């Protein structure tokens, strides 16, 4: 790159030495130009005080961005520290897609935060791949991030032994504070819904609405708890010592997770690509030395979740849309209906959509069913002047498209012979080259 004129770097100080925010605004820059920029400017960024020199390699996250068309993308690396326990800090990776025509006015900043699920290898921000490449949804500003505890590109201190919906909600709200988001719409799936609801009852004024896919906002059924316990035991058995990995156990744990998430062990090309990306990372992030993190996120978070009484649910200000898949093997429709009843009795405006044939994880393969409903729901519940919204673009590309293409996905429609899996999860202990930089500093 001969010029850096296409880049704008912002440094926002919170007044706390333990927190920094580094934002890159990237208008239409491709992967390789971005990689070059990261290499050329890492030392300069540290010397200018943008981040401590020991953290230069956080800039390697930039290598994970793909080509962005029709709108710009921000990659934000935020260092957060627990405001009460100063020993707890972590770097959060976030994707922010925004419309430049409306970004300048805060009153017109339509923000939609996507909260992924926890503790599953496919539980990272790209689980919303099909939402981030939807033309209708991309007229708005979309925010996606990796939660800590071994998810995706977020790194740092281990999650504490008691880490649940309250702590995860606090992390998310601190992130909203750090990037100065106004009140937002929350889109969440599975265990991410407990975080969204926790935010909505803790700081109701921050949540304009909630779109909750396969909610887990009631206590866990016994048989589902037993399934999580079994998967945790099998995964732990795959790492009997620091030098051994039993891939057959990884496969068995993966098969159990696939049944829970997608019902049918034959995966779509998109989900197959996701597993190719996430499982090699999971085998590093939740290996022998990090099995405690896997247990906290994959088991304890689920077992210890709490529902809210009617008096607390009554604090919710915005509307709530519940979405349930008819083929969810873990949670029947009655589970969604019970939470709907509780919301309505608390005076919350709520409704339920059932998607025929859909599993627990609806977002990848049933986007054609839920995306139009989400778009309509947002338009019905946005407090801002919709005339300020950007027009619907003709074409957009998911920020994770390059990553998925390298994992075998053909977004153009033609299915390769190796692009779907009859046997569920694909195990490959050798990390793909495009993941090496991300894991280099774990």
CATH class for the region spanning 8-439: alpha beta
Domain ranges of the chain: 8-439
- What pLDDT was estimated at residue 227? 94
How many CA within 13 A on the CB side of residue 393?
Answer: 21
Distance between CA atoms of residues 195 and 128, nearest Å: 17
What does the DSSP 8-state code read for residue 73? E
pLDDT attached to residue 264: 80
Assigned token pair, 184:
């937002």
pLDDT in tens, the chain (442 residues): 232 222 222 222 222 222 222 222 222 222 222 222 222 233 223 223 332 333 333 223 222 222 222 233 344 444 444 333 333 444 444 555 544 433 344 444 456 677 766 645 445 667 888 998 898 888 777 888 777 765 556 656 677 888 899 998 988 888 788 777 788 899 999 999 999 999 999 999 999 999 999 999 999 999 999 999 999 999 999 999 999 999 999 989 988 988 999 988 788 999 999 888 888 888 888 899 999 989 998 899 999 999 999 999 999 999 999 999 999 999 999 999 999 999 999 999 999 999 999 999 999 999 999 999 999 998 888 766 666 666 788 888 888 888 899 989 988 765 554 445 444 444 443 433 333 333 332 2
* pLDDT value at residue 41: 30
| pLDDT reported for residue 156 | 61
Neighbours of 37 (CB within 10 A): 19
* DSSP for 72-116, written as a single string: EEEEEEEEEE-SSSTT-EEEEEEEEEE-HHHHT-GGG--EEEEE-
Q: Please name which of 98, 120, 172, 66 lies closest in space to residue 360, comparing C-alpha atoms.
A: 120
- Please answer whether residues 43 and 66 qualify as being in contact, where contact means their C-beta atoms are separated by less than 8 angstroms: no
Say if CB 267 and CB 420 are below 8 A apart. yes
pTM for the whole structure: 0.74
Strand, coil or helix: 321: strand
Q: Which has the closest alpha carbon to 317: 197, 439, 189? A: 197
Contact at 8 Å (CB) between 257 and 121? Answer: yes
Distances (CA, A) of 57 to 118, 124, 306: 25, 21, 38
Alpha helices (runs of H) in 286-429, residue ranges in sequence order: 291-295, 301-303, 310-313, 333-345, 367-381, 401-406
């Amino acid at each position: 790159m001969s010029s850096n004129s296409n880049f704008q770097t912002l440094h926002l100080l919170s007044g706390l030495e333990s927190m920094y925010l580094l934002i890159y605004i990237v208008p239409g820059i491709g992967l390789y130009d971005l990689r070059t920029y990261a290499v050329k400017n890492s030392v300069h960024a540290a010397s200018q005080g943008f981040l401590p020199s020991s953290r230069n390699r956080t800039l390697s996250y930039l290598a994970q961005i793909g080509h962005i068309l029709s709108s710009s993308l921000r990659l934000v690396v935020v260092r957060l520290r627990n405001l009460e326990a100063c020993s707890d800090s972590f770097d959060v990776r976030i994707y922010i897609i925004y419309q430049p025509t409306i970004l300048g006015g805060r009153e017109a900043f339509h923000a939609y935060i996507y909260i992924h699920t926890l503790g599953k290898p496919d539980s990272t921000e790209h689980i919303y791949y099909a939402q981030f490449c939807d033309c209708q949804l991309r007229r708005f500003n979309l925010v996606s991030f990796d939660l800590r505890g071994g998810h995706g590109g977020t790194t740092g201190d281990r999650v504490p032994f008691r880490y649940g919906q309250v702590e995860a909600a606090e992390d998310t709200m601190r992130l909203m504070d750090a990037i100065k988001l106004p009140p937002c719409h929350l889109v969440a799936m599975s265990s991410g819904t407990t975080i969204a609801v926790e935010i909505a009852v803790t700081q109701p004024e921050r949540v304009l609405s909630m779109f909750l896919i396969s909610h887990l906002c009631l206590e866990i059924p016994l048989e589902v708890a037993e399934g999580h316990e079994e998967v945790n035991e099998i995964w732990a058995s795959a790492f009997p010592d620091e030098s051994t990995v039993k891939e057959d156990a990884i496969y068995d744990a993966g098969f159990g997770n696939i049944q829970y998430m997608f019902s049918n062990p034959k995966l779509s090309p998109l989900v197959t690509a996701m597993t190719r990306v996430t499982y090699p990372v999971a085998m590093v992030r939740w290996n022998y030395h990090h099995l405690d993190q896997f247990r906290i996120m994959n088991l304890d978070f689920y077992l210890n979740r709490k529902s809210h009484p009617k008096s607390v649910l009554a604090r919710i200000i915005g509307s709530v849309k519940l979405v349930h898949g008819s083929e969810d093997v873990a949670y029947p429709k009655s589970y969604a209906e019970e939470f709907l009843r509780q919301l309505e009795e608390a005076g919350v405006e709520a409704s339920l959509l059932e998607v025929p044939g859909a599993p627990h994880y609806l977002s990848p393969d049933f986007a054609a069913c839920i995306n139009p409903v989400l778009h309509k729901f947002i338009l019905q519940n946005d407090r801002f002047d919709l005339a300020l919204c950007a027009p619907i673009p003709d074409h957009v590309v998911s920020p994770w498209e390059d990553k998925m293409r390298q994992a075998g996905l053909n977004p153009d429609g033609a299915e390769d012979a190796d692009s779907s899996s009859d046997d569920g999860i694909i195990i490959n202990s050798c990390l793909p080259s495009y993941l090496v930089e991300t894991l280099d500093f774990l």
